[in-house]
Structure 1
Amino acid sequence: MRDYLESLEQDAAKDPEQRARELSRRELPKRFYKEATAAPVEGGYAIHLDGRPVKTPGKSTLVLPGEALANAVAAEWQAQEKVINPGAMPLTRIANSAQDAVSQRFAEVADEITRFCGTDALCYRADEPETLVARQTELWDPVLRWAEALLGGRFELVAGLIHREQPEALLKAYRARLEDVSPLRLAALHTATSIAGSALLALAVTEREVSVDDAWTMAHVEEDFNVERWGEDAEASAIRAYKRTEFEAAALILRS
C-alpha cells in the first residue's frame, strides 16, 4: 500500500486549509478494494480491505483500541469512491500519526500542546466592540473557571494581542494531565487544540465539560461575530466546513 498519509511531524506546521490544498494537488490512488471492515486483532481492531490489513505509512498494521472507533475508521475507507482521498479521512490520518509519530515523540507533542495553553485563545479578549466583549465573557469565562478549578490556579486575561506569560504552575498542571493519555488521544488533542486555538477547549471536550458543538461555537466567537456583520464568502465557508470535520474526528477519538 502506498505511503500517501502524512505523519504528525509533517502536519504540525500546517493548518487544515493548507493540508486540504496540498492533498487536492496530489495524484490520488485508485480504490482497489470492495469492502472495508473492522476485525479484532491482538491489542484492538485492525481495518481490513477485502481481508488485508491497512498499514500505516510506517508499515505497521493500523490498530484501533475499540470496536466503535475502528468501525468509524472502516467507514471512512468504505466511503471512498473511485480514488482514496486522505483529505476526507481525518480519523485515519490521526490514527496513523499517533501510531507512527506520537508514540515515538510523545513528550514533544505534549509539550507543544502545553505551549498552546500558555497562549490560549480564551485568555486573549477583544477590547471592543462591547457586544463582542460580552459574548466572549459569556461563553469563555465558564470554561476558564472550570479549567482553573481543575488545574489549581488563575489564568491571566489579556485585552488585545500583547503576549502575557501564564503562571508556570498552571502550565505544569496542564502538562501533567497529558502524561497518562494514549498516543492516539494525544494526537487527537493536538488536532483539536490546533483547530480551536485553545488547549483548554480541547481539554474541556475530552473531559465532557462542554459539548462538541458548544466548543466549536466558543472557538469561533470572533469569526461568527464578523460573519454576522459582514457576511461570509464561499471559500471561507468551505474551509470552515473542512475544519469542522477535522475537529469532530478528533473529538470522537477524545471521547471514545
Structure 2
Amino acid sequence: MYPIPRHALSPYHRIAFESPSNMAPATRICLAATALPFRHLTRIQTCRRAIHAAASNPAKVAPVYGTGPPPPPPQPTEEDYNRQLYLAKRKRQAQLLREAGIVRSAGDAKSGSDSPGLKRRFWRDVTVKEVNGAYEIHLDTRPLRHPTDKTIIRLPLSKPVLAHALATEWDQLSSALDGTRQHMIPLTSLVCRALDIAADDAKNSSSATTEAAPIRQSIVTTVMRYMDTDSLLCWAPEVDQSDPNAVAGSLNDEGYSLRDMQEEAFRRVVAPLTANLWPGISIVPVLDGHSILPRSQEPGTREVVQGWVLGLSSWELAGLERATLAGKSLLAAARLVAEWSEEQQEERGGNAFSSEVAARAVSTEVDWQISRWGEVEDTHDVDRVDLRRQLGAAVLVVAGVRGE
C-alpha cells in the first residue's frame, strides 16, 4: 500500500496525520509544549468585580427640604457699624475734594487763593523792569533767576523783544512745577545757555591760555559735524528722463521733483552765505545721486566756517547751536543767525530769512513725503510746530536793537 500524499489530505486528516502519536519523540515533546498554552486559553474564564466594595448610592431626584421659616438675617456688630461710618466719611471727603478740583480747574490760573494747597503758582503778575542798565524779569517782586547758579537773569538793553517774550513765557505757566520742565520754557533755557557761554568766556579770558573756552569749543565741535550730514547737502537722485513712468511718478502737483526742490532750497540758503558771509569758498552737496559715502568739502571750507563760528558772541552762538540741532542744518542756522544778528540788521532787506522760511528749507524731504503719502497725526504736525518754536527762539535770542 502506497502512502497518501500530504497535499491530498484534508486539513482534518492532515492534523490527525501529524498528531503527536505519529511523530518522533523529540518533535512530539516540542509541539506539545508549544500547543499547551493555546489549548488552555480558550477555557480561561474572566470574572468581574467592582472597583470599590461600598454599596452604590443612587442620586435623589427630589430631595426633601425643610418647610419651616428661614433663619433670621445676621445682625451687624459694633465693629461693622464703625467701619460703615468710616467708609461713609471717606466718601464724603472724596466728593468734597472732587468738587474743589473742578472749581479750581475752572477758575483763573492767576487766582489769589490764600490756601497754599490750592494755589497753582506763587506769582500773580510778570513784569519787565530795567534795573542798573539791564532788563530783569520779575515774578511779582521776585526776579527770575538762573536755575543752576541762582544768579538773576539780566538781559542787555538791546534786546527788549527778548525780555518781553521771556516774560510772556513765564506768564503763560499755570504752576511753579512747569518752570522746572525744559520743554515748557524753551526760551528760558536758551537764555541761560547764552549766559553760561558768556560766563565761561569771561572766566577763560582771565587765564593766560589762548584756546577757546570749554563750552564754546564744545559747541563748535558739535555744530561742525553737520557739515558732513547737513540737511541741505543731501540730495535725491536725478529723475531718469528716458523712463516716462519714472518721470510721471516723481513729480508733484506743480511739476517739480524732490531733486528740484532740494536744489532750490540749497541755492536760496547757501548763495548769500558764500557771497557775503563766507566769500571765496564753495560748498558742494555731500550726498548726490546714488552715492553712499559722504563727499568732503573743498580744502579751506571747513576752516573758514569754523573760524566764523568761533568769533560769534555768546547770544549768537547759543542761537546757532539751538537752530542747528533743531533743523539738523548748520547752513540754515548760520543764515538765520547772520540775517537776524544785531550787527547785520542794516543789511537785512524786505525778504528776510525768517524762521518759517528756514523751517521749510530744512523740511523739504519731509514735506515732499507728506504731500505724496499723507500726514501722520500727532507726529508730523507736532514736529512741525516744535521746529518753528525752536527756530523762533533762536531768532529772538540773536536779534536786538542796536544803539539802545
TM-score, length-scaled by structure 2: 0.52
TM-aligned CA distance change 1:190 to 1:224, over 3 Å: same
Counterpart-to-counterpart distance in 2, 1:136 and 1:222: 8
2:195 and 2:354 map into 1 onto residues whose CA distance is 27
Q: Which residue in the other structure is 2:317 paired with? A: 186
Distance 1:101 1:181 in 2: 11
- 1:30 and 1:199, CA in 2 relative to 1: closer, same or farther beyond 3 A? farther
Structure 2 CA distance for partners of 1:168 and 1:118, relative to 1, 3 Å: farther
The structural deviation recorded for 1:248 is 1.1
Alignment of 1:10-159 (within 5 A): 31-42=121-132, 44-57=134-147, 58-65=149-156, 66-83=159-176, 84-85=178-179, 86=181, 87-100=183-196, 103-104=199-200, 105-127=215-237, 129=250, 131-149=257-275, 150-151=277-278, 152-157=280-285, 158-159=287-288
* Structure of higher CA gyration radius: 2
State the distance in 2 between where 1:142 and 1:200 align. Answer: 11
How far 1:250 sits from its partner (Å)?
A: 1.2
Q: Structure 1's 181 and 39: CA in aligned 2 closer, same or farther, altered over 3 A? A: farther
Which structure would you say has the larger RCO, counting Cα contacts within 8 Å and 6 or more residues apart? 1
Residues 24-63 of structure 1: CA deviation (Å, up to 9, x unaligned): xxxxx95211111122234521211112111112221112
Alignment pair present for 1:215 and 2:358: yes
- Is the 1:45–1:64 Cα contact (8 Å) retained in structure 2? yes
Distance 1:142 1:184 in 2: 25
Give the deviation of 1:118 after TM superposition: 4.1
Report the residue type matching 2:391 in the other structure.
F
Distance 1:31 1:115, change over 3 A: same
Give the share of equivalent positions with the same residue, in percent: 28
Instruction: Calculate the TM-score normalised by the size of structure 1.
Output: 0.80
Deviations 1:113-156 (A, max 9, x none): 23323432211111154600011112212322222223221112
2:305 maps to what in 1?
174
Structure 1's 119 and 233: CA in aligned 2 closer, same or farther, altered over 3 A? Answer: closer
C-alpha deviation, 1:233, in angstroms: 1.4
**Shift in alpha-carbon separation, 1:155–1:112, aligned structure 2, 3 A:** same
Query: Would the aligned equivalents of 1:109 and 1:190 in 2 still touch at CA under 8 Å?
Result: yes
Deviation at residue 103 of structure 1 after TM alignment = 4.3
Distance 1:162 1:30, change over 3 A: farther
Counterpart position of 2:335: 204
* Separation in 1, partners of 2:292, 2:133: 46
Aligned residues: 228
Higher helix residue share: 1
2-structure distance, mates of 1:108, 1:102: 14
Q: Does the 8 Å CA contact 1:102/1:187 hold for their aligned counterparts?
A: no
More strand by share: 1
Runs of 4+ aligned structure 1 residues displaced above 6 Å come to none
Aligned-partner SS, 2:138: strand
Q: Does 1:254 align with 2:398?
A: yes
Change (3 A) 1:142 1:96: same
Deviation readout 1:192-220 (Å, 9 max, x if unpaired)? 11111111111111222622221111010
The match for 2:21 is none
